[in-house]
Chains A and B, each alone.
Chain A
Amino acid sequence: MTKNVYFSVKKQLRLFAQLWVIVLLFAVSKANADWQLNMREGVTEISRAVYDLHMVIFWICVAIAVVVFGVMLFSVIYHRKSRGAKAHNFHENVFVEIAWTVIPMVILIGMAIPATGTLIKMYDSRESDLDIQITGYQWKWRYQYLESGVDFFSSLATPMAQIKGEEPKGEHYLLEVDNPLVIPVGKKIRFLITANDVIHSWWVPDFAVKKDAIPGFINESWTVVEEPGIYRGQCAELCGKDHGFMPIVVEVKSQPDYDAWVKQQQLAQLEKAKSAEKRWSLDELMTTGEAVYLKSCAACHQASGEGIPGAFPALKGSAIVQGDPAAHIDIVLNGKPGTAMQAFIDQLSAVELAAVITYERNAWGDSLGDIISPSQIAKLQQ
């Protein structure tokens, strides 16, 4: 039946070889671009141990592949009917069957031993120098330093125009944040990881730390970073619309720099509290409010205030936004449990909250002229 159009094995092999040569040429021609092929070794003892495990198991696989595919290729070439090969008549051999059960078993045990050692080390989060609670929110991270009380949110800093292709993309496109996590070098940092809404996963490849952030549960992980620098990662668990847009940036500083940073953060927090006492005009609130809205609310409610039907309600023309300010303040401060509307009471300062609520009540043409004062919100925050 194959007589009419005979498409020979040789021709097929030649076609195959030609295609791969084209692919390889293409690859080589761009070899000086950033073509990272392998896992990063990272900058911690653990990340290097993980890298070594990865390489060992990889070479074991390569070795097995060479043997198995080698035998197969040999048969394909030499035991072909077109070469006059006659089929032999063996179909059982207890000895080889036992051999190829036992040998892989031994290899696997050899592999399991170092893997177990590394895993035990990864799980030993005792005796930390610094504890940081990490909370995943739809679509940002919150970092709370348990000892010093420093507490802030960290979200994507890449402008929308770059994402939409209206501006050239920057060097750290999608891997940059407004407030990076800052940690001291050479200290054992323990991360207490949890989430506020859905499951996220906190991952920094250079530390080989990846732990799921699960609402209602606290996971532990730890790291000791050996070199100061900036390390980047991403959320690694699908968490909704903007899962691809919640990166992680960690700045590792020397101890004195770190201490100075903590001081400065604590001062800034005091400043913020003070500014709530000042009197704010409608215009001032509107300008601040628009900025806060675009950063914290527009991902869901959209810049136009029109929301996404079926997922996020429109604020433009909404009964709550148009109605009694108390209800409006309540939903923004406390969120609505069991929905994507999170509580913003600890996320934003009194000024920011007052500004964004004022903004919502006056933007989009349905301006009510209301002013929500920061001092009013500050009272509710206590």
Chain B
Amino acid sequence: MSTTTEQITETSKADTEHHHGPAKGMSRWFFTTNHKDIGTMYLWFSLAMFMTGGCMALMVRAELFQPGLQFIEPDFFNQMTTMHGLIMVFGAVMPAFVGLANWMIPMMIGAPDMALPRLNNWSFWILPFAFSIMLMTLFMDGGGPNFGWTFYAPLSTTFAPPSVTYFIFAVHMMGISSIMGAINVIVTILNMRAPGMIMMKLPLFVWTWLITAFLLILVMPILAGLVTMMLMDIHFSTSFFSAAGGGDPVLFQHIFWFFGHPEVYIMILPAFGIVSEIIPTFARKKLFGYSSMVYATSSIAFLSFIVWAHHMFTVGIPLMGELFFMFATMLIAVPTGVKVFNWVATMFRGSMTFETPMLFSIAFVVLFSIGGFSGLMLAIAPADFQYHDTYFVVAHFHYVLVPGSVFSIMAGVYYWLPKWTGNYYDERMGKIHFWLSFVGINITFFPMHFVGLAGMPRRVPDYALQFADFNAISSVGAFLFGFSQLLFIYNVVSCIRKRNQASNRVWEGSHGLEWTLTSPPPYHSFTTPPKVD
């Protein structure tokens, strides 16, 4: 055989494989460039991290069930809160959104796949390594990161355990993964839309992801710069963050939060997108105020860059700075309010049914708003002097992250699962999962408002007696919520395995290109572009 024929047979073999589906065995997952396979891997990875970070939270809550030191030493407690925060933010919420983006964006804009498939493979496969390194630090001398997920210098530089270098390396890897993922999303959305899919017709999930991807590209390099400066301080005797050498510990916080505040919007904008897909479906009514949703999302993204110092009201920034950041922060409430009003107006005069995705979405709107209200309270700088670094803040960010981001992810999974697998999940089990989660969440996090206001600081392994009762309740709720998530795994797995054929449209009120494909969809979503009018 000549080389040319060999090549030809090679390519035609590759071609047939391409048309008929995935490779066999493990190599399918290692070498895949398919957006659905990669999306699936992201979602499983995120679920694994969610359970890991959840176990850490339960350890924290077990220790806090009663005053006194019962189960774990203070230093290990700090490692658990830190790892819990880092894993939930970078390992659970962000990868879940990237997984959903991978699955849904090509199907929603009428493309066959993501624009940069090899980059896609790489950006996923970095993550398991990054998190293995990070988890490994727990077993090193001196333990893992124990300085909070915000890793303020000099606690995280001069005073850090030796494993901090591994932590820095892991953060770099996560950053690279996120940036590559974001580039892929942007290129796909800008270049691969079906004819007629103009920007102002993009589904909101795609819009919010486009904006999120720009935020990611803008802020992840800042995080990378920050940890590099830490690395220099630790190993190459620079003094970026050490006052003794002419540096400034507050500089660390400015850089961190210049990354950190947009980061919290990275974790909520795609959630807005998901909920904006789901509510119209189950209200059987078009989304109210589509264009104002797009403008509101863009203004939130812009404002997120000029509010960072609201996390630093007590570090002693000058009065004028303090006022500026207070006003800017209060301003964010306006576009956020617009979004909530739009969702409510979408439900108003609709014809609603309450399947699991809708239940999660309605809970999202209510509980995210509660988190928004406490956020507005935190924006009032003089009052923040009392709230800052207490459990009130812990309550606030869990209301926006857990029934916010996490509920939206679960809503999205239930919503699209029949499309992905071709099977309906068990609706009754879905509802039980929802109600247990909903009750668990509120029992866990609502009392945290009270202990925070009464004066309990965050990140403490033990507390004064007057906080005991509410802490006990919180811990009970946490275990209820934690164990309810086993139901979620059960629901997903049994949906994949059970044959309960879903129709192409799946939901009565579904709308958009993804529902024109078969359930499950073909390996390459749209091989010929659909026409959009």
Contact = CB atoms under 8 A, between A and B. Distances in A.
A141 to B, nearest CB: 15
Contact of B369 (A65, A87, A96, A171): A65
Interface string A62-98: 0011001101101110011110011111111100110
Contact of B454 (A2, A37, A198): A37
Interface of A: 1-2, 4-5, 7, 9, 12, 15-16, 19, 23, 26, 30, 33-40, 49-50, 53-54, 57-58, 61, 64-65, 68-69, 71-72, 74-76, 79-82, 85-93, 96-97, 100-101, 104-105, 108, 111-112, 115-116, 118-120, 122-123, 138, 162-165, 169, 171-175, 197-199, 201, 203, 205, 208-212, 214-217, 219-220, 233-245, 308-311, 337-340
B303 interface: no
B383 A57 contact: yes
Given A30-B469, A72-B366, A87-B283, A215 B348 contact: no
Given A57-B376, A90-B349, A91-B285, A163 B69 contact: yes
B17 interface: no
A92 B288 contact: yes
A15 B435 contact: yes
Contacts of A89: 285-286
B385 A241 contact: no
A233 B159 CA distance: 25
B371 to A, nearest CB: 11
A199 B152 contact: yes
Contacts of A199: 152, 154-155, 249
Contact of B75 (A39, A115, A308): A308
Interface stretch (B216-224, B322-330, B523-531): B322-330
B61 to A, nearest CB: 15
A292 B70 CA distance: 27
Contact of A12 (B146, B351, B354, B381): B354
B249 A65 contact: no
Contact of B250 (A85, A164, A214): A214
A115 B327 CA distance: 10
Given A88-B285, A238-B459, A96 B388 contact: no
Contacts of B146: 240-241
A155 to B, nearest CB: 15
Contact of B352 (A75, A123, A233): A75
A112 B323 CA distance: 9
6 nearest CB pairs, A to B: A216-B243, A310-B142, A310-B141, A244-B460, A61-B373, A219-B316
B183 interface: no
Contacts of B489: none
A240 B155 contact: yes
Given A104-B334, A219-B316, A37 B453 contact: yes
A49 B385 CA distance: 12
A1 B285 CA distance: 20
Contacts of B351: 79-81, 85-87
Contact of A115 (B68, B365, B366, B382): B382
A337 B314 contact: no
Contacts of B354: 9, 12, 80
Contact of A198 (B159, B350, B369): B159
B319 interface: yes
A79 B338 CA distance: 22
A164 B71 CA distance: 10
Contacts of A233: 455
Contacts of A219: 315-316
B74 A242 contact: yes
A7 B155 contact: no
A314 to B, nearest CB: 13
Contacts of A214: 243, 249-250, 315-316
Specify which of A211, A236, A310 lies most central, judged by the most chain B CB atoms within 10 Å of its CB: A236
Given A34-B466, A210-B386, A57 B377 contact: yes
A119 B457 contact: no
Given A76-B347, A80-B351, A119-B326, A238 B148 contact: yes
A116 B292 contact: no
B380 A7 contact: no
B298 to A, nearest CB: 14
A84 to B, nearest CB: 8
B521 interface: no
Contacts of B443: 23
Given A19-B439, A97-B292, A123-B319, A236 B348 contact: no
Specify which of A35, A49, A104 lies most central, judged by the most chain B CB atoms within 10 Å of its CB: A104
Contacts of A311: 75, 142-143, 161
Interface stretch (B28-36, B105-113, B424-432): B424-432
Interface in B154-190: 154-155, 158-159, 161-163
Specify which of B143, B351, B386 lies most central, judged by the most chain A CB atoms within 10 Å of its CB: B386
Contact of A104 (B70, B148, B337): B337
Given A40-B455, A197-B154, A199-B155, A2 B355 contact: yes
Given A81-B284, A215-B154, A76 B362 contact: yes
B464 A172 contact: yes
Nearest to A5: B428
Nearest to A235: B457
8 contacts: A40-B455, A53-B380, A89-B286, A101-B334, A165-B69, A216-B242, A238-B459, A244-B459
B461 A244 contact: yes
Given A97-B289, A169-B465, A212-B315, A310 B350 contact: no
Given A36-B466, A173-B465, A311-B161, A236 B155 contact: no
B289 A75 contact: no
B470 interface: yes
Contacts of A96: 345
Given A119-B326, A172-B464, A57 B439 contact: no
Contacts of B159: 138, 197-198, 240, 339-340
A243 B362 CA distance: 39
A36 B453 CA distance: 8
B158 A339 contact: yes
Given A2-B427, A79-B283, A91-B287, 20 more contacts: A1-B502, A7-B431, A39-B454, A57-B377, A75-B352, A79-B350, A81-B352, A163-B68, A163-B69, A164-B68, A165-B69, A171-B465, A203-B389, A210-B388, A217-B316, A234-B460, A241-B74, A241-B75, A311-B161, A339-B158
A30 B463 CA distance: 20
B352 to A, nearest CB: 5
Contacts of B316: 211-212, 214, 217, 219-220
Contact of A238 (B141, B147, B381): B147
Interface in B123-152: 140-143, 146-148, 152
B341 interface: yes
B153 to A, nearest CB: 8
A133 B51 CA distance: 46
Nearest to B68: A165
Contact of B349 (A1, A58, A79, A119): A79
Nearest to B337: A104
Nearest to B429: A5
Contacts of A337: 244
Contacts of B214: none
B284 A87 contact: yes
Contacts of B500: 1
A232 to B, nearest CB: 8
A276 to B, nearest CB: 30
Interface in B48-94: 67-70, 74-75, 78
A88 B382 contact: no
Contact of A201 (B162, B249, B314, B344): B314
Contacts of B348: 71, 74-75, 79
A90 B365 CA distance: 21
A66 to B, nearest CB: 12
Specify which of A1, A76, A123, A165 lies most central, judged by the most chain B CB atoms within 10 Å of its CB: A1
Interface string B233-274: 000000000111000111000000000000000000000000
